[in-house]
């Protein structure tokens, strides 16, 4: 599988940590990961935003691992934030987790299903 980042020169450039589009060729499998929430396997939810963000990413990684994939297979991620005040903290955690990987990305500010959850992450991966 080959991933080709695309940033059209006649459209706005990404603000960092993602690409405007990504072309996937040679893939034989696609994985659609439902929204991963900041809940541990024991049902606990961290209080601090950054801890919730790391846990939601750990849950994304667990789903990838279950499908014999890694973060290198991510193509598109949608982040749902409960409040835009978390944007900078989320970007920092996302960049830490992705370690320079460039993916398609959308962030939506919205109400979340459970009020104790401050974010949710859904993803698409290909292999």
With a cut of 70, list the residues of the chain below it in pLDDT: none
Is 22 in a helix, a strand, or coil?
A: strand
Question: What gap in Å lies between CA 40 and CA 46, rounded to an integer?
Answer: 9
In the chain, what are the domains? 2-7+28-126 (3.30.1330.40)
pLDDT of residue 30: 96
pLDDT of residue 16: 73
pLDDT of residue 17: 75
Residue % of the chain over a pLDDT of 90: 83
Residues whose CB falls within 8 Å of the CB of residue 91, separated by 6 or more in sequence, listed in order:
16, 17
pTM of the model: 0.91
Question: What gap in Å lies between CA 127 and CA 123, rounded to an integer?
Answer: 14
Helices 87-98 and 49-66, axial angle in degrees (round to 10): 40
Residue 98: closest CA among 122, 120, 74: 74
């Amino acid at each position: 599988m080959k991933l080709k980042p695309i940033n059209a020169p006649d459209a706005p450039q990404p603000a960092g940590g993602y690409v405007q589009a990504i072309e996937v060729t040679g893939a034989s499998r696609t994985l659609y990961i439902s929204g991963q929430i900041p809940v541990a396997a024991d049902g606990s939810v961290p209080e601090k935003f950054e801890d919730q963000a790391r846990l939601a990413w750990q849950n994304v990684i667990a789903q990838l691992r279950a499908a014999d994939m890694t973060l290198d297979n991510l193509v598109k991620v949608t982040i749902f934030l409960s409040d835009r005040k978390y944007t900078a903290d989320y970007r920092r955690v996302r960049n830490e987790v992705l370690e320079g990987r460039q993916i398609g990305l959308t962030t939506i500010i919205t109400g979340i299903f459970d009020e104790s959850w401050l974010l949710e992450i859904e993803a698409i991966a290909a292999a």
